[in-house]
Amino acid sequence: MVNEKKRLRYGGIVDLIFDALADGLIEGWKNMPTQSQLPVALGYLIKYILEVKNKKISKDKIKRTIKELEKRKVLYLEKKDDKILVYLEVKGQKKVIKHSIKLLLNFKNKEKKWDGKWFLVFFDVPEIQRNKRDYLRKFLKTLGFYQFQLSVYLFPYECEKEVELIKQIVEGAKYMKYIIADKIEDEERAKLFFNLT
């Protein structure tokens, strides 16, 4: 039971680190790096978690979690002048981009006014790659898309940039297509799902 609590605490701090890095990506969206590196000063990252995210966690706990992520090759640290910089490995970059997509879609869902259009993604992943197809379905649901049909998902706000990012980080997403529709049949359930009624 104690171990389970420790894991949950660790997982929560990991999520905060990725949220903070994702917020940084969103701020610099136009200049998003295509490389695996995203240098952030360790001191800034810790300050961001404590002040912007308003979390009461000791600095040592955050540092220990970052060290653990370094061991797992999710990120790495480098001393430059008087600063320690946090870089993302490829594995870490994918995790942060996933967090960025989710934060952006959540923001649009809460803040934007719906204009009546639907933004659909559909895919036809070959049967031989069933695992990739199942992962893509699960991932789209996690991001907040509504499953309209088995391989058709929709969102009520423009999300082309996010779909392009999904294609970069989810292998099965290369089979995905993006469509904008003025009207769809049987949209009432989707409207309820997104609280648009």
Is 0.85 topped by the overall pTM?
no
Q: Is residue 102 assigned to a domain?
A: no
Closest by alpha carbon to 57, among 108, 20, 98?
Answer: 20
Number of helices (H), then strands (E), in the chain:
7, 7
Domain count for the chain: 2
**118 and 86 in one domain?**
no
Q: Is residue 144 assigned to a domain?
A: yes
**188 and 147 in one domain?**
yes
**188 and 128 in one domain?**
yes
**186 and 119 in one domain?**
yes
Mean pLDDT, the chain, integer: 82
Task: Give the C-alpha separation, 174 to 182, whole Å.
Answer: 25
Banded model confidence at residue 146, pLDDT cuts 50, 70, 90? very high
88: β partners: 75
**67 and 25 in one domain?**
yes
Task: Give the C-alpha separation, 153 to 120, whole Å.
Answer: 6
CATH number at residue 78: 1.10.10.10
**18 and 72 in one domain?**
yes
**89 and 16 in one domain?**
yes
Maximum mean pLDDT: which of 14-18, 84-88, 124-128, 146-150: 146-150
Around Cβ 59, how many Cβ atoms within 10 Å? Answer: 13
**89 and 123 in one domain?**
no
Q: Is residue 106 assigned to a domain?
A: no
Task: Give the C-alpha separation, 109 to 159, whole Å.
Answer: 11
Banded model confidence at residue 21, pLDDT cuts 50, 70, 90? confident
Q: Is residue 34 assigned to a domain?
A: yes
Phi, psi of 75, rounded to the nearest 5 degrees = -150, 170
Helix or strand holding residue 130 (H, E): helix 130-143
pLDDT tens digit string along 46-74?
888 888 777 778 888 888 898 998 898 88
Which of 2-6, 10-14, 160-164 bottoms out in mean pLDDT, i.e. has the lowest?
2-6
Q: Is residue 133 assigned to a domain?
A: yes
Around Cβ 31, how many Cβ atoms within 10 Å? Answer: 7
CB contact at 8 A, 54 and 71: no
Task: Give the C-alpha separation, 134 to 172, whole Å.
Answer: 9
pLDDT tens digit string along 154-173?
999 999 989 988 988 888 88
The β-bridge relationship of strands 83-88 and 40-41 is antiparallel
Q: Is residue 72 assigned to a domain?
A: yes
pLDDT value at residue 5:
39
Task: Give the C-alpha separation, 94 to 81, whole Å.
Answer: 28
Domain ranges, residue 62: 2-93
- Residue 153, amino acid: Y
